[in-house]
């Protein structure tokens, strides 16, 4: 004989607000899993994704079962770089999009977009973001001093 759950204790009644802060935050961190679900929702089967999932550098592949686990946020370890490249091929998404989604999901990375800038600018900004306040002030002074020097052109 099966006992029924107490009133209000069913899974369907639990809201995000009922969860401890860390668990609620982790539930929101499913960016890579969401990419897989979106492609599947768009009509591509997990097998269809798996058929395309091959890292062009190493030849590593991703299975249908792995994609299904990823879609349900059941993959606990961050994918390797080769697996990320295979996922990008499977999802037909740019590698940078897949890498960013994985970083958010597995590393609690807070993405900031620098749309319209080239890779050099993004690398410089990322480098500056890791500096202390005094180092950033020194770099700012150098950049501002450089702007005051006339071009040789």
Q: How far apart are CA 21 and CA 29, in angstroms?
A: 13
Domains contained in the chain, CATH given: 20-111 (1.10.260), 113-153 (no CATH)
Q: How far apart are CA 50 and CA 66, in angstroms?
A: 9
Question: What is the model's pLDDT at position 9?
Answer: 43
Contact 78, 65 (CB under 8 A): no
Question: What is the model's pLDDT at position 122?
Answer: 62
Question: What is the model's pLDDT at position 38?
Answer: 94
Residue 99 per-residue DSSP state: H
* Token pair for 5: 């759950």
Question: What is the model's pLDDT at position 151?
Answer: 75
Which residues does the chain have with pLDDT short of 70?
Answer: 1-29, 109-117, 119-120, 122-123, 125-127, 129-130, 153
Measure CA of the first residue to CA of the last residue in the chain; give whole Å. Answer: 88
Residue 129 per-residue DSSP state: H
Question: What is the model's pLDDT at position 24?
Answer: 43
User: In the block, which residue shows the tokens 């395309």?
Assistant: 52
Contact 72, 55 (CB under 8 A): no
Question: What is the model's pLDDT at position 86?
Answer: 97
């Amino acid at each position: 004989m099966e006992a029924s759950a107490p009133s209000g204790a069913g899974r369907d009644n639990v809201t995000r607000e009922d969860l401890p802060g860390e668990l609620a935050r982790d539930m929101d961190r499913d960016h890579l899993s969401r990419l897989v679900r979106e492609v599947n929702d768009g009509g591509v089967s997990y097998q269809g994704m798996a058929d395309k999932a091959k890292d062009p550098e190493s030849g590593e592949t991703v299975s249908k079962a792995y994609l299904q686990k990823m879609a349900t946020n059941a993959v606990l370890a961050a994918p390797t770089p080769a697996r990320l490249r295979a996922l990008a091929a499977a999802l037909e998404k740019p590698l940078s999009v897949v890498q960013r989604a994985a970083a958010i999901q597995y590393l609690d990375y807070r993405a900031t977009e620098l749309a319209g800038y080239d890779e050099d600018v993004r690398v410089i900004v990322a480098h500056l973001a890791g500096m202390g306040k005094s180092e950033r002030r020194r770099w700012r002074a150098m950049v501002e001093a450089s702007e005051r020097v006339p071009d040789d052109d």
